[in-house]
Structure 1
């Protein structure tokens, strides 16, 4: 296994800061400041930003200071559409490979989510809630699928930062435990249905409601007349 470099450390720190919303969408990411902090050249700092750009977390246009990405509603909807497809296949593959060791790993992760919520660390709880899906995808044995799930989950965290509404973290952990129970029962249909319901709830928190057309004068008067 390769030893992580300072450039890797810069990438991981920036990624976590973005996912935990410590760096807000639109925040400037100056190469010289990143390089000085991590003791790397501007070239390596730029490489870390490029990795984050490839994952959709950073906007880095030529000759402009890189910024934390700020996805539009249209981009957000597309990301969640892809995520639903990927996670449906994830559940199916995990059921095929299921083992008690997988249950232990997933339950330990959810315990971490609960602990973060108990100590009031909303940023860590949110990050861990997303990482549950990444851990689950890693159990499929398909590294390409795991990579794509990791990317859409990270982008989902950014979408929540831009468009999301507050929610109770214990809802997410309860939903995660429900998925684990269905996987342990080797019930692929139930696991897929629970995952779909969970992602529908995440999507509802992440995307703004579709605005309704303003009421006309006649509509308003009809409610008050008589």
Structure 2
């Protein structure tokens, strides 16, 4: 792997975390020069990372306006969550037919990480909640399903970041634990019902709220760059 590619990967990972942890809210500008200065790389490396995030649906890039965190319209929410329910129902059905040998252990390990992040009041808990659903898709072994679920979960996260009202993360973790138990027992109907209830609750949190002040982009990027250096 080239040095330039490695640097672009680090920028991509750091920005993705910052967006999914809601440190960078929808609509926040992502100037290539600021990103390049923070990470000590060329604008080309910064641009490559932004292009990857755009492909994930996390960033919008417009001619003569540059890049910014994607801002999904509220009208999009209904369609996004409808698609997500269909995709995650398929994930549940596949896992109840064939769960990988270490699948349940992987899910339990992830939930424990969610619990640690929640106890520490870390913004990681927001990102980990979404990544639990991506992990479920990964356990199916279907690349297409993984890609589709990853994209729709990311889009859901943006919708919640822009419109969602606060909620208790403990409730989400409890539902994840219930889902794991149903999957462990291969109870497809129960697991599907839990997932449906869980996703409807997430969707119901989406509502307009007062616009927050834009964060200091350099400060956020520096914080996440430091995190990447410590990995």
TM range (shorter): 0.7 to 0.9
Calculate the TM-score normalised by the size of structure 1. Answer: 0.87
The structure whose Rg is larger is: 1
Q: Distance in 2 between matches of 1:21 and 1:174?
A: 22
Answer whether contact 1:25 1:162 (CA < 8 A) is retained. yes
Name the Cα RMSD after superposition: 1.9
The residue aligned with 1:177 is 177
Written as runs of structure 1 = structure 2, the 5 A alignment for 1:137-156 is 137-156=137-156
The residue aligned with 1:110 is 111
- Confirm or deny that 1:130 pairs with 2:130: yes
Which deviates more, 46-55 or 6-15? Answer: 46-55
Number of equivalenced pairs: 208
- Confirm or deny that 1:50 pairs with 2:40: no
The residue aligned with 2:62 is 61
User: What do residues 16-61 of structure 1 show as CA deviations (whole Å, max 9, x unaligned)?
Assistant: 1011111121111001111222233212211211111122211110
The residue aligned with 2:98 is 97
C-alpha displacement of 1:84:
0.7
Written as runs of structure 1 = structure 2, the 5 A alignment for 1:17-32 is 17-32=18-33
Q: Distance in 2 between matches of 1:7 and 1:116?
A: 27
Distance 1:184 1:83, change over 3 A: same
Answer whether contact 2:95 2:139 (CA < 8 A) is retained. yes
User: What do residues 63-88 of structure 1 show as CA deviations (whole Å, max 9, x unaligned)?
Assistant: 21211111111122221111111100
Answer whether contact 1:29 1:66 (CA < 8 A) is retained. yes
Answer whether contact 2:99 2:140 (CA < 8 A) is retained. no
Distance 1:9 1:151, change over 3 A: same
Q: Distance in 1 between matches of 2:2 and 2:101?
A: 30
Q: Distance in 1 between matches of 2:142 and 2:2?
A: 21
Comparing both chains, which one has the higher relative contact order based on Cα–Cα distances under 8 Å and sequence gaps of 6 or more? 2
C-alpha displacement of 1:111:
0.8
Secondary structure at the residue paired with 2:140?
Answer: coil
- Confirm or deny that 1:187 pairs with 2:214: no
Gaps of 5+ in 1: 209-226
Q: Distance in 1 between matches of 2:2 and 2:187?
A: 38
The residue aligned with 2:168 is 168
Q: Distance in 1 between matches of 2:41 and 2:49?
A: 10
User: What do residues 102-146 of structure 1 show as CA deviations (whole Å, max 9, x unaligned)?
Assistant: 11110110111111111222x111111111001111000101101
Which deviates more, 33-42 or 171-180? Answer: 33-42
Answer whether contact 2:100 2:139 (CA < 8 A) is retained. no
C-alpha displacement of 1:99:
4.3
Answer whether contact 2:26 2:70 (CA < 8 A) is retained. yes
Answer whether contact 2:57 2:155 (CA < 8 A) is retained. yes
Q: Distance in 2 between matches of 1:175 and 1:2?
A: 42
The residue aligned with 2:214 is none
